A = this chain, B = another copy of it.
């Protein structure tokens, strides 16, 4: 079999390692600042590509990331597979039942959020195609259609993540936003698939436009009705009779890949096939919870970084950066989407604040826009200048979505336990079995973190402890107090291998002790921290691991790995 040569193999391994390393590191940093990982991943590609690394060391750059030959084919194929799998995961997020349940409001927001940006886009692209980078190679109608679609689409994965962060996901508002976004995504991708079909026609593809569009709609229709039914009937059997999670994973891939081949064959792109396959799969209640985790990890931490990290490799973001165009695209995109969705929400009777939150929530374009743009670039629908502008628009709208919703609604951000930990309040082994001494040591650390007197903190915690003991069971105790002068909550942690008697309901001595201080004016944090600790330690495994630990870093690692498993 024909294969990579010795030196091409070496390059391939180094190339993959480099892209993964940079994309993941910058992705992690982006998440640290509450930004979507895709922001960092794309930035990594920009740094590695012609924009920076290629400009500084062109020879090294073209050695590590060749644009011709077998290595280039492999890189572009990995990118293609990653994109296809990413869209499958995006499809899994789509729950048609949610749209159905939210009914009228969701559809009215969805329709307004689709039609108004679409109309704005068509108008702008028809009035000033040159300003938007149209170069006369394509029929202006196609260009305008694409531009309008690009403005209309939302990014369901980013929106879902943002709502979860703001603890809005399970609320009525959250479900309406999700439903409307599903409606827009589904419609948007079908329109885009049809545009690609027309494109292929103009570029000499054999199938006629009506056939392509007809087959696209037929495919989507069959998959979303019969396909869903098929999954609903066969998947339980697969889950019952094959190894877990391998059987379900294979099932998903073996369903999605031929769909990719089919949509590629009828002249639209493979991503549309896996997206629709993902929708069909995700609508099965059997698959959703578990399989999503498995497939998502698989895609999120390997394929997605490889894909987004490689986007910047082909485009020079400095050379093609056009400030005017970027601002124009960003402006049109925000006005159309925020305006449309807010209007739709108001018309269906939502309150003013909720309606604006709706608009800002739906405005996030995220990864979807970037994939759309990349395909348009590859097919020659748009030029590099507009591509760069679309990428920046996608990133900026995603970045502002969360903070703006938070601001409009006045919601606090969700914080997890690990964000309250710090080296300064980690005591390690307390070397005591006396409850007062343990509280005293922890109060010492906590009080210096909040600049309060040790005696004051100790007295408050002790007073609360004497009212009712704070052993929550499972060998864990959570002495706590609300105390004036604390702004953000503080959690001090101590361990006791012999155990301390906090009068636990289950009779176990406390081996892990969390001291929690919060403000009397903060109604939620204390409750949230204590319930999270209880949840984490409920199975006993965490306590066993925790008492083996000697450093803050290890403890934080334990909490993070369990808290998010």
Contact = CB atoms under 8 A, between A and B. Distances in A.
A77 B290 CA distance: 30
A107 to B, nearest CB: 29
Contact of A243 (B1, B314, B556, B564): B564
A2 B76 contact: yes
A247 B300 CA distance: 11
B560 A244 contact: yes
A131 interface: no
A324 interface: no
Contacts of A68: 2
A561 interface: yes
Interface stretch (A258-266, A325-333, A383-391, A496-504): A258-266
A450 to B, nearest CB: 23
| Chain B CB within 10 Å, residue with most, of A247, A290, A314, A557 | A557
A80 interface: yes
Given A237-B553, A264-B6, A301-B249, A72 B270 contact: no
Copies per assembly? 2
A8 to B, nearest CB: 9
Nearest to A233: B553
Interface of A: 1-4, 6, 9-14, 16-17, 20-21, 24, 28, 31, 67-70, 72-77, 80-81, 84, 205, 236-237, 239-247, 249-250, 253-254, 257-258, 260-261, 264-265, 270, 286, 290, 294, 297-298, 300-302, 305, 313-314, 538-539, 551, 553-554, 556-557, 560-561, 564-565
Given A3-B80, A4-B77, 20 more contacts: A1-B75, A1-B76, A2-B67, A2-B68, A9-B264, A9-B270, A13-B260, A14-B257, A28-B241, A74-B77, A239-B557, A241-B556, A244-B564, A245-B301, A250-B301, A253-B302, A286-B554, A298-B298, A298-B302, A539-B539
CB-CB nearest 3 A-B residue pairs: A3-B76, A239-B557, A17-B257
